[in-house]
Structure 1
């Protein structure tokens, strides 16, 4: 599959299947003034009629996707050309995945976007080339009416924007669609005794080590399962978190009690590469497996709050803040790009709230004091 689209004053020619066939490269070399862009991994040619005629002459039998505006501008050149735009949803979604990989999207985002697009196409019951703005609007309204969170709806819109604009060259469909206003929700936090109950509820040393790390180092569940033995630096007492959210590395704190537990775990389980291998020891545990470990621990601890394993990360940040740790250090430990993300814990912390006396308590104290003084007279 070849894609032809405009790029400033040039045209871009991208071959979507890798590696390119020898005969395809030979055809490209026959086009005058073509240039290879090593950074973007595509060919560029002048945006002019003579170049396009040259391209059509050599690639007429290839399956090609032409950008709609370009097709409209040079319709007399392409009228006898074998232009093919995939109509099969599966093929289009696979093409989107390939584009996302080329753009450096994470595997998690790639999977989420693919599912959003599939749900949309199943809901709208139209081919991708037939999608109109109204179809997208109806789908987003349906999600909101189903009480999906605004962050979920926003992600769905981002997926559809990438799909329509970058995969189908239909930027007109989603260009002006508004995003739902971001919800101002506070994270669920466990108190100290609840954390202790959860950590103490499990006897399996591997499961206990997982939850100790989640709370003591403020790690995301995806970061925990992807830890390798070499990431635990016992001399510096830090954990090296590699290529996490936003493809960033960072260091976070390694607690002494967690290190002791990890040493016991290592002696018993003998992991070889992944700190927490799965059933197939060549692979790490799945995130869902760790979530189930937390759910079991929460039930055994008798915690009724609607919390998840991510709540241990929230609790880590909140308890550090209540303990007097500077919010800038907490931001670094959590790996937040913006301090505004970390500042949400100032709304959860009860450090300053404890100093404030409720007016009811003051009222009842004054009433009791008045009765006491009246009894003395």
Structure 2
């Protein structure tokens, strides 16, 4: 096989019919072979060879070019990155909204797919909000007539209005979800350019500030929550999903189930946090989840942030602190204390050390050996 010869398969929608598009660099051999495919046609408007999208045609393409060219199907076969969560799918907020006259709502098929794919409730709200803003930017255009031109026009509008890169990316994801998942046209807009991710330094607290936060509260449950978020490097969603059985005092680890990417992992359990947890368990007697509300339901994400806001205010910390700030601080402090980056990667549940490397930009250990010119 000539590795220089390759054909990329993409999904196309032409006259409301699904087609397979074949993209390749100018090559006489490939062009002759493509033309030899039965029922192949050239679409002048999209400037691409295409076949009706059927299982038979997909098999035919792979067999036809076997040993001659590599078939790149990265953009053709859809993948799901949704996360299976232990929570009830709730769209009551969607049905109970008071909307202005003429407002274009997200179609029910969109919500159905989000539920089937197991998306978290917070993600559902974000996707629906972003997608509806896109729909209502074109009030006189039916959803069935929206295409790549409108998508690009809307993205230009967001850029002109200085929308953040993260919000633009969320909007692209919500729009792509409709075309690729709801309409079953995977990677229909794979060539839509995304804004470059902004490289901003993480907010990190010092060990002293962490202790000030934890000691600032007299509430034992709140103290345990803050202590676990920091000492185990947990995400907020991971903390509220912890069960009593996930605290392993024999091995001094915390088991995190169904974390981001549907992965389980173990992380550290601090001795001081374990002591507080034992007192907390005797006093609060949780039934199922480690942290429960007044009616024994799982603790809410907003309650976690309220605890953080209160403790930072009492401790006199002026930085904007979230649960993820405590996780960032955990990783940064480990790195500053000489812990190998690969171990930090495992404790945080990152797929790659590239993700964990962001902490090298905020760790100050390497600065200690540098003599400030002001002090020379």
- Same fold? TM cut 0.5: yes
Shift in Å at residue 108 of structure 1?
Answer: 4.1
In the alignment, is residue 98 of structure 1 matched against residue 112 of structure 2?
Answer: yes
Shift in Å at residue 247 of structure 1?
Answer: 1.4
In the alignment, is residue 360 of structure 1 matched against residue 368 of structure 2?
Answer: no
SS for the counterpart of 1:174 is: coil
Question: Which structure has the greater CA radius of gyration?
Answer: 1
Aligned to 1:347: 361
Q: How far apart, CA to CA, are the structure 2 residues paired with 1:124 and 1:194?
A: 49
Q: How far apart, CA to CA, are the structure 1 residues paired with 2:173 and 2:184?
A: 15
Aligned to 1:332: 346
In the alignment, is residue 174 of structure 1 matched against residue 189 of structure 2?
Answer: yes
Q: How far apart, CA to CA, are the structure 2 residues paired with 1:122 and 1:200?
A: 49
Residues 172/346 of structure 1: CA separation in 2 closer, same or farther (3 Å cut) = closer
Aligned to 2:246: 231
Q: How far apart, CA to CA, are the structure 1 residues paired with 2:126 and 2:201?
A: 24
**Equivalent residues of 2:308, 2:321 under 8 A apart:** no
Q: How far apart, CA to CA, are the structure 1 residues paired with 2:163 and 2:106?
A: 28
Aligned to 2:211: 196
Residues 141/307 of structure 1: CA separation in 2 closer, same or farther (3 Å cut) = farther
Shift in Å at residue 90 of structure 1?
Answer: 4.4
Aligned residues: 283
Larger relative contact order, structure 1 or 2 (CA cutoff 8 Å, min sep 6): 2
- Post-superposition CA distance 1:21-55 (Å, at most 9, x none): xxxxxxxxxxxxxxxxxxxxxxxx9879xxxxxxx
Aligned to 1:71: none
2:263 alignment partner, one of 214, 229, 248? 248
SS for the counterpart of 1:214 is: helix
Shift in Å at residue 127 of structure 1?
Answer: 2.7
Aligned to 2:314: 300
Q: How far apart, CA to CA, are the structure 1 residues paired with 2:259 and 2:186?
A: 30
Residues 170/242 of structure 1: CA separation in 2 closer, same or farther (3 Å cut) = closer
Aligned to 1:53: none
2:328 alignment partner, one of 314, 334, 344? 314
Aligned to 2:95: none
Q: How far apart, CA to CA, are the structure 2 residues paired with 1:145 and 1:206?
A: 46
Q: How far apart, CA to CA, are the structure 2 residues paired with 1:7 and 1:123?
A: 29
In the alignment, is residue 285 of structure 1 matched against residue 299 of structure 2?
Answer: yes
Aligned to 2:128: 114
- Post-superposition CA distance 1:133-156 (Å, at most 9, x none): 333223323333444331221122
Q: How far apart, CA to CA, are the structure 2 residues paired with 1:124 and 1:148?
A: 18
Q: How far apart, CA to CA, are the structure 1 residues paired with 2:309 and 2:157?
A: 31
Shift in Å at residue 121 of structure 1?
Answer: 1.6
Q: How far apart, CA to CA, are the structure 2 residues paired with 1:195 and 1:228?
A: 25
Q: How far apart, CA to CA, are the structure 2 residues paired with 1:104 and 1:5?
A: 28
Q: How far apart, CA to CA, are the structure 1 residues paired with 2:17 and 2:145?
A: 20
Shift in Å at residue 354 of structure 1?
Answer: 1.2
Q: How far apart, CA to CA, are the structure 2 residues paired with 1:162 and 1:100?
A: 9
Q: What are structure 2's unaligned runs of at least 5 residues?
A: 1-15, 21-53, 58-102
The structure where helix makes up a greater share of residues is 1
SS for the counterpart of 1:307 is: coil
**Equivalent residues of 1:129, 1:168 under 8 A apart:** no
Shift in Å at residue 7 of structure 1?
Answer: 9.5
Alignment of 1:123-272 (within 5 A): 123-125=137-139, 126-168=141-183, 174-272=189-287
CA RMSD of aligned residues (A): 2.7
Q: TM-score, normalized by length of structure 2?
A: 0.69
Shift in Å at residue 361 of structure 1?
Answer: 1.1
Aligned to 1:72: none
Q: What are structure 1's unaligned runs of at least 5 residues?
A: 9-44, 49-87, 363-377
